Structure 1
Amino acid sequence: MHDLPDTDYTQRFIFDESDVRGEMVALERSYAEVLAKHTYPEPVALLLGELMAAAALLVGTLKFDGLLILQARSEGPVPLLMIECSSERDIRGLAHYHADQISDTATLNELMPNGVLALTVDPANGQRYQGLVDLDGEDLSQCFTNYFVMSQQVGTRFWLKADGKRARGMLLQQLPADRQKDEDDRAASWQHVTALASTLTAEELLSLSNETLLHRLYHEEAVRLFDIQPLRFRCSCSRERSGNALVSLGQEDAQQLVVEHGGHIEIDCQFCNERYLFDASDVAQLFVGAGVESPSDTRH
């Protein structure tokens, strides 16, 4: 019996004769799960797909255990796009939007004017890191490319596409000088591989297998393709986390909320629509034996 074909994965490749590596991503099931949670207008669904693809590619380039968070904010029709992808490759995402302000052909600039993208790496151990980039590119691919030009000083290019069913992406990145010691040679081969990648059409990126795609672009190069790394949609919400959020309010405020909401508090997860209910006895229970988490010992 065969397993279902992998629909969600990243796959790394490397050029044997130049100091360049690449990563490709394909998302279907996880993308469908994210879109199933809300009724997104098409331009928002496409942006979400592209941002999911970018997050998956970035998790592949960053060696860390923890969480990568991409958060794009604007004062336009799409005030928030948010994707979280863990080093275990669990991915989730959401968007806030004003449907009445969104046309079918809206561009990134129209959806998120003066937008800013925050890229946060939250490792299980060690310092949290955040980088910011203005969403001033023509599309998200250009914005991510600009981010690396400004912040990393490492040649990095992104190609991101989504069509509401599939999200695909490719990344090329320069490696430290190893096979090519000469700066001019390095620059020439980087120029060469990125120019070829830029001939990719959206249709090719969305429909061709990685092998076919790489052969079409780089049949004259020695390219090595590595094993796929699966991804999946998974939400990290839980009753425990929701309870902790109530505990952080303090006992009086949490009890007051129960009263104001007619006997129970509903906490909804925006990512997956899961709903957690807490009544007065649930809330009392949270503060009994909450130990150091209880704020009451600071109240006299």
Structure 2
Amino acid sequence: MSDTISRFIFDNSDVRGEHVRLEKSYQDILSIHHYPPGVANLLGEFLAAASLLSATIKFEGALILQVRGDGQVPLIMAEANSKQELRAIARDANEAISLDFKALIGNGQLAMTIAPENGKPYQGIVSLDGDSLARCLEAYFQRSEQLATRVWLCADGEHASGMLLQQLPSAKPDLDRWEHLSTIAHTIKNEELLSLDVETLLYRLYHQDAVRLFDHKPLVARCRCSRERVVQALMSLGRDELDDILAGQGQIETNCEFCNRLYQFNAGDIAGLFEQGSDLTRH
């Protein structure tokens, strides 16, 4: 099944897992910007990773995974929310020619932000020490959360997939069991991760272990931009600056960097922004 995320657990164990497979949602996002192959693959890994990580948290809101570096891609990020909606972008990446993670990202920082619908956002940041996004995420959990975590990610421009194993907090963690389960998972090949459904994959890996698979949840590419959000951003600039833009351009245009949707405002629209009771979001 494509565009689904699935949770699984091991009976009599403090280890949980998540598996994600993306196809249409991944392709929908790539169709907007037409990234080079290396960037398209990396963006697929970010989408898979954000999906996996958001599924490990019980909250209403969004999880944003972002890397800023000095490589060929200055910024790349993916977002997954509690409604299983995905979006992602790589900035200034059209000239990136490498397929190598370190060449694309360079030196920088990995930031994971949890933005609840109600409440203050939380952000954890670590340096980029690994040679892949998966290894960087493992280092993040080791340093920031002190949770043993293993991550596998793969994308080829058409499909993106990933799997996560995590040892839950426990007064007496079963380290032998964790080592057994994670060692078996390290035998996964990229082609298996990309081509096999979760049932087949788990059977190949753990047919001798008591693993329980929960219902699949669908994932979809959907941007969270809206005219209301754009209005709020314009209001923050102030009337004088908006009038200056109108004087020079005749109207104000802005594109969502994620979905490329165009928002336009003329002089009458801008005047209405500052009138009591005005509501441009209905247009």
Same fold (TM over 0.5): yes
Q: Tell me how many residue pairs correspond in the alignment.
A: 278
In structure 2, relative to structure 1, the CA distance for the partners of 1:203 and 1:124 (3 Å cut) is same
Q: Where does the alignment leave 5 or more consecutive residues of structure 2 unmatched?
A: 279-283
1:138-175 deviation per Cα after TM superposition (whole angstroms, max 9, x unaligned): 11110101100111111111101111111100000112
2:204 paired with 1:216: yes
2:259 alignment counterpart: 272
Q: Distance in 1 between matches of 2:28 and 2:233?
A: 25
2:269 paired with 1:282: yes
Q: What secondary structure does 2:225 align onto? A: coil
Q: Distance in 2 between matches of 1:117 and 1:48?
A: 14
Give the alignment of 1:97-176 within 5 angstroms. Answer: 97-103=92-98, 106-176=99-169
Q: Distance in 2 between matches of 1:35 and 1:276?
A: 21
TM-score (norm 1): 0.89
Q: Is the 8 A contact 1:116 1:135 kept in 2?
A: yes
Deviation at 1:98, TM superposition (A): 4.2
In structure 2, relative to structure 1, the CA distance for the partners of 1:274 and 1:81 (3 Å cut) is same
| Aligned partner of 2:233 among 221, 245, 249 | 245
Q: Distance in 2 between matches of 1:218 and 1:153?
A: 26
2:80 alignment counterpart: 85
Give the alignment of 1:3-18 within 5 angstroms. Answer: 6-18=1-13
2:29 alignment counterpart: 34
Q: Distance in 1 between matches of 2:129 and 2:192?
A: 26
TM-score (norm 2): 0.95
2:58 paired with 1:63: yes
Deviation at 1:290, TM superposition (A): 5.9
Deviation at 1:99, TM superposition (A): 3.6
Asked which structure has the greater CA Rg, the reply is: 1
Provide the alpha-carbon RMSD of the alignment: 1.4
Q: Where does the alignment leave 5 or more consecutive residues of structure 1 unmatched?
A: 1-5, 292-300
- AA aligned opposite 2:15: V
Deviation at 1:101, TM superposition (A): 4.6
In structure 2, relative to structure 1, the CA distance for the partners of 1:29 and 1:222 (3 Å cut) is same
2:14 alignment counterpart: 19
Q: Distance in 1 between matches of 2:37 and 2:95?
A: 13
Deviation at 1:219, TM superposition (A): 0.8
Identity of paired residues, percent?
51
- AA aligned opposite 1:193: L
Q: Is the 8 A contact 2:39 2:96 kept in 1?
A: no
1:72-99 deviation per Cα after TM superposition (whole angstroms, max 9, x unaligned): 1112210011112111111111101344
